[in-house]
Amino acid sequence: MPTKRDPDKRQRQALERRIQNAMTTIYDPATPNIDLFNMGMIYDIRIELPGSVEIDLAYSSPEHPDNFGLTLRVKTTVEELDEVNDCKVIVVSDPPWTLDRVSEHARINMSVVN
């Protein structure tokens, strides 16, 4: 049973926060004013120490021509973090992405842009 001071758990949580922050620097090609994290397109981040990461990503617009580039940008951005050796991006479609996943911050930006 892990203790409150489980260093691996704390290390994974800290890395997850850094990955989430990194996702705020990448923008959805279909909604270029909103980042992936606030669009709710990052469904899950799994971290295996040392340095292996899997990210579940859903497209907001599955037919958008820049989606392939998006997965590559996520992989590259995460692998630039010092603690990450390898990042695998898994495109998921179940459940499909909907506007319900968008953060309040993104909703405000969407209403300003539209």
When the pLDDT of each residue in the chain is averaged and rounded to a whole number, the result is 90
**Would you state the structure tokens that stand for residue 29, as one six-digit string?**
């090609």
How far is Cα 70 from Cα 72, in angstroms, rounded to an integer?
5
pLDDT above 90 covers a percentage of the chain that reads 72
Element (H, E) at 22: helix 7-23
How far is Cα 66 from Cα 96, in angstroms, rounded to an integer?
18
Peptide bond into 7 cis (omega under 30): no
Helix (H, G, I), strand (E, B) or coil at 95: coil
Digit-coded pLDDT (tens) for 44-88 = 999 987 899 999 999 999 999 999 899 999 999 999 999 999 999
Its pTM stands at: 0.87
**114 vs 81 pLDDT, higher one:** 81
Q: DSSP label at 99?
A: G
